[in-house]
Amino acid sequence: MHNRKVVRASNKEKNIKRWVPEIGAVVFKKGFTRFKVWAPLADKVYVCLDPYGRRKMIAMEPTGKGYFAVENDASPGDLYVYVLDDAAERPDPASRSQPHGVHAPSRIVDTGSFSWSDTEWKGLPLEDLIIYELHTGTFTPAGTFQGIIPYLPYLSRDLGVTALELMPVSQFPGERNWGYDGTYLYAPHEAYGGPEGLAALVDACHAHGLAVILDLVYNHLGPEGNYLWGFGPYFTDRYRTPWGPAINYDGPGSDEVRRFIVENALYWATEYHIDGLRLDAVHGIFDSSPIHILREIGETVHRQGQALGRQIHVIAESDLNDVRLIRPASKGGFGLDAQWSDDFHHSLHTLLTGEKEGYYQDFGSLDDMAVAFRDGFVYHGQFSRFRNRCHGTSSRTRPGRQFVVSSQTHDQVGNRARGERLSALVPPEALKLAAGLVLTAPFIPLLFMGEEYAETAPFLYFTSFEDQKLAEAVRKGRRKEFESFRWKDEIPDPQEPSTFYRSKLNLSLRNRPDHRVILEYYKRLIRLRRSHSALIECDRSRMRLFRCGSEPVLILERRDRSETSRCLIIASFSPEPVTVKPSAPAGSWRPLLSSYQREFGSPPSGPEKFTIGYGNGPLSLPPYFFGVYEGTSGTNEDHTTME
């Protein structure tokens, strides 16, 4: 395996001031807890300890800018609520734990008491990430943080991924939810194992060489259990999101709202040793401030990473194709490390499935797939039929490590009416083609849990709202969303427990013959990516693209830094056998991996050792063929490419 040298913090970086938590209930080693809350709408604020018992009321002192604070000898594990002018009892907006749900008292947590064994862990470089996205509640039968730990050897050693990305874990209503309706941004969900469980999982991941990326939602908060309205102007009606009121990042009172969000990002990175923050749907974040909140998050998190001597990455999800997200601040951007590439997924998905509904109508040609490889964004200013306007900006100058690519994600699977995975939509050879392109691309690859062995369970949309009016509204909204589909009467009820249980993985499938061959294919692909010098770098500048006339075949050549090691990737999107005669790139090529190998569940087929150049013969490719070849001789002579 190729192991890149870990970059350690310099002495200068070690002198950077480290952030320490202030908001919420913070436990100090001297035996006291400081409570601090922003409540500019209140004249008086009390903290009520043991609200279910002796109810000890303690007046909090105003400290300026709408904050109230007090120090007390309260201990970790104690329950408390805040009492405002109207005598309403509310949980702490910065609660570290909600043991009895979103409507109940908060619990004091001493995050400094967590047991860590990862003092030597320094994180991973961005280009070393091979991300495995999972939902804590459905990944294992237990559905907890602790339940994931026994599978870490499988993920890290056997499969070979290098990072886990957890779908949102902040406290949400009930026990079943995707996590994007969270209402307590600082509190790990109790049904998953709470604060202690999350810390144990992160520590165990680091022991297995796995980075941990946490999905965070800063565009809205869920409707149930959201008591922030009573504390201050956390929300604004100047903008609307598809999910509810927008967070107030640029209106009156927004300074402390921004602080609440920025401190939350720092909190996860510091108190839970998180290695990366994935910011959900940043196109739903509205901010006209001179320094955008996304830039502020990125800069403060990077600074904290330097102070901690760890690499911490900030990755955005956006459908805007706006290169400012990943452009350095010195060049007018927000300076985030990377972003998800929807265009790559859509180009790949439409070629394999033929689907053209919704946003898929803008994709479907091999040229789109080639542009996704070459430029990152397919839409960089041209007209989009789906949006009925021009869309996107050019990202050609940004490095490949700034794009996260995939063939499946929680969104692209779970937002389908019936939650079908790609394995339910295309034949196995097409599934292997998709995996091959994702894992050999000069980008950061992401796998969605279970795809590595062709999991058969769907990933459905599920909730467990306690507010029955809200639950019914969600049901109706889901039915309306798919009312034009032929299977509209088959839409699962999000509130039904069975919808959740149907979405749980059956990890034992990976041991069955027809699934084991897919898993072996993924394992071999990942090993090849991590070991071959021409594949390991996320560098598009040493990649060339070639077409084979009018046939739906794409050829990629990738070279290492020395220009001496080359890989050729052949990808056929044809559902039928095709014969092609490529004229470039010149050289002799020997096979490293093919989707048509007996150990991968297919009879051997496709080209063996061959030469491209003057007088070479044709190549016969079986349906949906994917192959990786290594150059053995020849030149790097340029021929016509797709530029």
In this predicted structure, the answer to whether residue 623 has a pLDDT above a threshold of 60 is: yes
Q: Which pLDDT belongs to residue 1?
A: 41
Nearest to 134 by CA among 504, 588, 444: 504
Length of the chain: 643
- Gap between the Cα atoms of 117 and 114, Å rounded: 10
Q: What is the pLDDT of residues 403-416, one digit of tens each?
A: 999 999 999 999 99
pLDDT (average), residues 249-262 = 98
Confidence (pLDDT) at 480:
75
Using CA atoms, how far apart are residues 465 and 148, in angstroms rounded to an integer?
25
The yes-or-no answer on residue 280 being catalytic is yes
Task: Provide mean pLDDT across the span 438-450.
Answer: 98
Please give the model's pTM, rounded to 2 decimal places. Answer: 0.95
pLDDT-based confidence at residue 548 (cuts at 50, 70, 90): very high
Distances (CA, A) of 38 to 41, 60, 63, 230, 311: 9, 11, 10, 11, 31
Non-local (6+) Cβ contacts of 622 within 8 A are 429, 572, 577, 596, 605, 606
- Give the three-state DSSP class for 602: coil
* 9 has a pLDDT exceeding 70: no
Backbone angles phi, psi at 636, to 5 degrees: -100, 25
In angstroms, rounded to a whole number, what is the distance separating the alpha carbons of residues 382 and 102? 45
| Whether pLDDT at 485 is above 80 | no
Per residue in 259-288, pLDDT (tens digit) is 999 999 999 999 999 999 999 999 999 999
Pairing outcome for strands 403-405 and 235-241: unpaired
Q: pLDDT at residue 397 above 90?
A: yes
- Strand 403-405 to 444-448 pairing: parallel
Pick from 101-105, 183-187, 607-611: least confident: 607-611
Q: Taking 60 as the threshold, does the pLDDT of residue 11 lie above it?
A: no
Phi and psi torsions of 442, nearest 5°: -80, 45
Tokens of 250: 């640029």
> For residue 18, what pLDDT is reported?
82
Q: Does 263 qualify as catalytic in the annotation?
A: no
Helix (H, G, I), strand (E, B) or coil at 517: helix
Token pair recorded at residue 532: 């071959």
- The pLDDT value recorded for residue 635 is 46
Q: Alpha-carbon Rg of the chain, whole angstroms?
A: 26
What is the DSSP secondary structure assignment for residue 527, as one 8-state letter?
Answer: H
In percent, how much of the chain has pLDDT > 70?
95
Angle at 328 between CA 326 and CA 329, to 5 degrees: 115
Q: How far apart are CA 246 and CA 349, in angstroms?
A: 31
Taking Cα atoms as reference points, which of 345, 408, 349 lies closest to residue 377? 345
pLDDT tens-digit map of 280-327: 999 999 999 999 999 999 999 999 999 999 999 999 999 999 999 999
pLDDT for res 87: 82
Q: pLDDT grade, residue 177 (50/70/90)? A: very high
pLDDT at residue 633 in the model: 57
* pLDDT at residue 7, rounded to an integer: 40
Phi, psi (degrees; rounded to nearest 5) at 39:
-145, 65
How remote is the C-alpha of 391 from its chain's centroid?
23
Q: What is the pLDDT of residues 105-145, one digit of tens each?
A: 999 999 999 999 999 999 999 999 999 999 999 999 999 99
Task: Tell me how far the alpha carbon of residue 153 is from its chain's centroid.
Answer: 21
Q: Is 193 left (phi over 0), alpha (psi -120 to 50) or beta?
A: left
Find the helix packing angle between 513-531 and 428-440, rounded to 10°. Answer: 20
- 132 has which bridge partners? 164, 447
DSSP notation for 238-256: EEEETTEEEE-SSSTTHHH
Separation between Cα atoms, residue 249 and residue 8, nearest integer Å = 34
User: Which residue is catalytic, options 317, 319, 343, 411?
Assistant: 317
Q: Tell me what pLDDT residue 484 has.
A: 53
What per-residue confidence (pLDDT) applies to 491? 85
pLDDT at 616: 81
Q: Is the pLDDT of residue 579 over 60?
A: yes
Q: DSSP for 274-303?
A: --EEEETTGGG----SSS-HHHHHHHHHHH
State the Cα–Cα distance between residues 137 and 169, nearest whole angstrom: 10
Cis before 445 (ω within 30): no
The Cα–Cα gap between 437 and 422 comes to: 14
Give all strands (DSSP E) within 302-382, no chain letters: 313-316, 338-340
Residue 570 bridge partners (DSSP): 555, 627
| Residues 69 and 25 sit within 8 Å (Cβ to Cβ) | no
Question: Which residues, in sequence order, are CB contacts of 607 under 8 Å at separation 6+?
Answer: 570, 591, 619, 620, 621, 627, 629
> Structural domains in the chain?
12-113 (2.60.40.10), 128-218+259-527 (3.20.20.80), 542-633 (2.60.40.1180)
Q: Do residues 554 and 370 lie in contact, with contact meaning Cβ atoms separated by under 8 Å?
A: yes
Is the distance from CB of 175 to CB of 191 less than 8 angstroms?
A: yes
Rounded mean pLDDT of 345-359?
Answer: 96
Q: What pLDDT score was predicted for residue 72?
A: 94
CA distance 348 to 616: 30
At 483, is the pLDDT very low, low, confident or very high (cuts 50, 70, 90)? low
> What are the φ/ψ torsions at residue 168 (nearest 5 degrees)?
-50, 135
DSSP line for 365-424: SHHHHHHHHHHS-S-SSSEETTTTEE-----TTS-GGGEEE-S--HHHHHTSTT---GGG
How many Å apart are CA 559 and CA 540, to the nearest integer? Answer: 10
- Count the neighbouring beta carbons within 10 Å of the beta carbon of residue 119: 8
Outline where 416-483 has alpha helix (H): 428-440, 468-481
Active-site annotation holder among 203, 280, 296, 557? 280
